[in-house]
Amino acid sequence: MFKKFISLLPLMALAAGVAFAQDDKGSLSAGFETNTTYYVDDAKTGAIAPESRFGSNNYLKMDYSQGNFAAGLQFEGYLPAINGFFPMMYGTDQFWRYDIYASFIDKGWDVRIGSLYEQFGSGMLLRTYEDRTLGVNNALQGIRVAYSPADYLSVRALYGRVRDIKEYTSSVVTGADLSLSLSSLFKMNAIDLALEGSVVDEYDPSMMDGVKPHKTGYSGRLNFGVAGFQLRGEYMTRQIDPGFYGMSEISADQAEAIQLELGYSGKGYGALVTLRKLEYAGLKGLMQSQENAMYTSIRYVPALTQQHTYMLATMNPYTAQNDEIGGQADFYYNFKRNTVLGGVKGMKVHVNYSNFFGSLPDMMTGMMSERKLMYRDLTIDAERWFSKDFKAILFYSWQTLNPETMGKGLPGEMWKSHTIVADMTYKLTRKHSIRMELQHLFTKEDHKNWAAALLEFNVAPKWSVSVQDMWNYGDTKTHYINGNISYTYSKVRFAMNFGRFKEGYLCSGGVCRMTPAYTGANLSMIVTL
């Protein structure tokens, strides 16, 4: 009865808010998005179309606000889900799910009921969010109350049920977070200093016999900034779920994570170093949903590496491991315009280096190995306008990956690759431009050498047409050719792409999902009102 009452509260609040606002109608916004793919079999890549040959992800979102009151709902329809989403259900299941909320903000209070999106600190202890690229929507269903009596203090508390992809379950999360700004409290204008802390309890009645259903975690955080320097630190610990990881993999009863960030920004340059140590602090889903852990987790533990966007540089991305230690360093420098190196608009140079070591479970015994290299990447990219109409980006990445992190390769094997990219844009007129990418990946491992090219023509702000090819000339001799056309009119955007797409990982924000190879056509449409 209580679960039904919690789910009905947002609808009741929405109805009350609309009734209360009869004299002042407030504002209503809406948006619709659909992504639909038609699949065909492809003997060359081994891609097999599902029986229905269709996959379709659809989203309808509406929000209403009036004064301090806001409410909204979102319907999602998977008819069934497109390739790579929810792998346990791909091609076999059609389902709908929904989110609904109502909120009120006044005099330091912020109350929300219904679907809850929240993040404590960096998200290692708690983060619920939506990412349609990945298919993640792990909102809790319940109530959140936040109160800020002064500019130096804020408190948040929440209670909500966990979603298992289709529906909300009997698993419950309760949490609280406190943030105290010492610099605001003591009027230290030249210094930014804040202390923060969180506690989260997870109740999962599906735990095996003999395992406590309650798992509690804590985090403490420090933020300090002065004269361009910024230091952020977070320590997190929580009880482990041995049934999720496997008893033979567990060497302690507590998961731990330490993350440190040190940055400095000056005029025209900046640097940031991030270090992190994880012990079983990564993905944890519901006990009955291990195959879909990414979609049921209430934590956010992304890979702390360069997030590449060029197609060959993303061939084998790194994902955060249960046991890892390492970090990354970024350096940015802008050469001034109208100088020899800066050219007409200046030149931006970025260097990133990341390195992670970790241990993996043995495939036969499940015992964790000694720590060894998991991933290393050195990336250099430079962007420069050579004239008012011509811009070029030069990119280089040297990656070393332990393929066991993806369940591939042999023990002790390392995949090493060098990727170079030339990304060139030429403005033909004020509205017309053409862009070309030329890419090459050198490697002796996996499927050996690749070449890729993309040609794109844009008519701002409405049309974009492109064609690209990825060619594995070092091994399979396979071409992955596809084309794309998009059109934007007012608040409507249509896009269609068609061709052959290779098996691989699709990443967003350092989190990746596996996408099987497929051949076909995809139509997407976004409408906002």
SS (H, E, C) 341-397: CCECCCEEEEEEEEEEEECCECCCCCCECCCEEEEEEEEEEEEEECCCCEEEEEEEE
Task: Decide if 234 is inside a domain.
Answer: no
| Helix (H) or strand (E) run with residue 60 in it | strand 54-66
pLDDT digits (tens, 9 = 90+) for 322-358: 889 999 999 999 999 888 888 888 999 999 999 999 9
Task: Decide if 334 is inside a domain.
Answer: yes
pLDDT digits (tens, 9 = 90+) for 346-390: 999 999 999 999 988 766 666 677 889 999 999 999 999 999 999
DSSP per-residue codes, 446-500: TT--EEEEEEEEEETTTEEEEEEEEEETTTT-EEEEEEEEEEEETTEEEEEEEEE
What range defines the domain where residue 439 resides?
311-482
The number of residues in the chain equals 529
**What is the reported pLDDT for 36?**
94
Distances (CA, A) of 336 to 228, 266, 330, 380: 20, 14, 20, 19
pTM, full prediction: 0.87
Asked whether 36 and 523 are in contact (CB, 8 A), the reply is yes
**What is the reported pLDDT for 504?**
85
Task: Decide if 514 is inside a domain.
Answer: no
**What is the reported pLDDT for 140?**
95
Task: Decide if 446 is inside a domain.
Answer: yes
**What is the reported pLDDT for 507?**
86
Asked whether 5 and 485 are in contact (CB, 8 A), the reply is no
Task: Decide if 410 is inside a domain.
Answer: yes
**What is the reported pLDDT for 254?**
79
**What is the reported pLDDT for 284?**
53
With a cut of 50, which residues of the chain have pLDDT below it?
A: 1-9, 11-22, 245-249, 283, 285, 287-289
Task: Decide if 135 is inside a domain.
Answer: no
**What is the reported pLDDT for 467?**
97
Number of domains the chain is built from: 1
**What is the reported pLDDT for 509?**
85
Measured between alpha carbons, how far is 135 from 108 in angstroms, rounded to an integer? 34
**What is the reported pLDDT for 408?**
84
